[in-house]
Amino acid sequence: DLEVNNDEAGTTVSLIRGVLRGLKDHGYKIGGFNAYATSDVLVGAGLSSSAAFEVVVGTIISGLYNDMKINSVEIAQISQYAENVFFKKPCGLMDQMACSVGGMVNIDFKDPTKPIVKKVPTEFEKYDYSLCIVDTKGDHVDLTDDYAMIPSEMKKVANFLGEDYLRDCDSNEFYIRLD
């Protein structure tokens, strides 16, 4: 059964079901497997734990049933679908794309169905920097509505600057208008 089950919203089962449904809808072969997973990633702390899990499920299915032919961008998009529709979190594509492609990425959404994704080279150690993850003991679980407002707020800013999308706005004009 790959239908949305509202009673599963917010659960790991909903993510698995959603990824499998997304893969099937995209014409990929799916099937079962046994897996054991453990993680030190803090749940609900904004560290992309759900995105990482979705991407792992998609990658495993790609390997077991599709000869690793599902590309990282499509796995990320299917993972976002699983989180939005089955997990019931209105997230964007950023976390899934960073997990699937690996590392920091730049995403151009001119065509949202075919985003242009480029890895951003990061050489922290070259500049004697380290990326540190700190447990703030905070929780972002109750921020779902705030996350959902981001696209609408971005569209309002773009409209203020005379465009439909921020990507089409002149960056100099944007910074001038901040004052």
Q: What's the chain's average pLDDT?
A: 90
Dump pLDDT digits (tens) for 142-160: 777 787 788 889 899 999 9
The verdict on whether 95 is a catalytic residue reads: yes
Between CA 100 and CA 13 the distance in angstroms is: 20
pLDDT in tens, 133-146: 777 777 766 777 78
The predicted structure's pLDDT at residue 144: 72
Q: Which of 28-32, 84-88, 163-167 has the lowest mean pLDDT?
A: 163-167
Residue 67 forms part of a structural domain: yes
Q: Which member of 40, 95, 139, 170 is catalytic?
A: 95
Encode pLDDT of 95-106 as tens digits. Answer: 899 899 988 889
Which residue(s) pair with 108 in the sheet?
Answer: 116
122 and 166 co-located in one domain: no
Is 45 part of a structural domain of the chain? yes
- Which pLDDT belongs to residue 40? 79
What's the whole-number mean pLDDT along residues 73-90?
95
CATH code for the domain of 73: 3.30.230.10
**Residue 116 placed within a domain:** yes
Q: Whole domain around residue 168: which residue ranges? A: 140-179
Mean of pLDDT values over 110-118: 87
The verdict on 33 and 83 lying in the same domain is yes
Residue 146: inside a domain: yes
Condensed to tens digits (0 to 9), the pLDDT of residues 32-74 reads 999 998 887 776 666 788 999 999 999 999 999 999 999 999 9
Same domain, 38 and 120: yes
Instruction: Name the pTM for this structure.
Output: 0.82
Q: Does 172 reside within a domain? A: yes
Looking at the fold, whether 104 and 162 belong to one and the same domain comes out as: no
The reported pLDDT for the residue numbered 141 is 67
pLDDT above 90: percentage of residues in the chain: 58
Does 83 reside within a domain?
A: yes
Residues 168 and 102 in one domain: no
Measured distance CA(41)–CA(26) in Å, rounded:
30
pLDDT at residue 43, rounded to an integer: 67
Among positive and negative, which fits the CA dihedral 147, 151, 154, 156? negative
Q: How many domains does the chain have?
A: 2
1 belongs to a structural domain: no
